[in-house]
Amino acid sequence: MEETGVDVDKPQAAAASMLEKNSILIAITGEGRVVYGGREVGVSGVRAVVRRLNEGKGKMMFFPLSYRLIKRL
């Protein structure tokens, strides 16, 4: 699994090992910074990160977190 570089408590899913192999975690800090791989990518950098990591892998599914959950992180 690709990590964000920001420490977060990740929930465990029933098939967590499957999700970990196919997940891209992009963090939004309490200050509103968008972070991937330990560096700030900004909102405009998310598309490039996802596109690069998904090359040749077919379809993607997005599971956006609610604003309330993001605020707690």
- List per-block mean pLDDT (blocks of 10 residues) for the chain, which spans 73 residues: 62 57 79 89 88 77 56 47
Residues 6+ apart with CB under 8 A from 21: 1
Residue 32: its pLDDT value, please? 87
Residue 73: its pLDDT value, please? 46
C-alpha dist (Å) from residue 13 to 20, 33, 38, 40, 63: 10, 26, 24, 27, 13
Residue 13: its pLDDT value, please? 55
What pTM, to 2 d.p., does this model score? 0.52
Residue 3: its pLDDT value, please? 58
Nearest to 73 by CA among 29, 26, 40, 24: 29
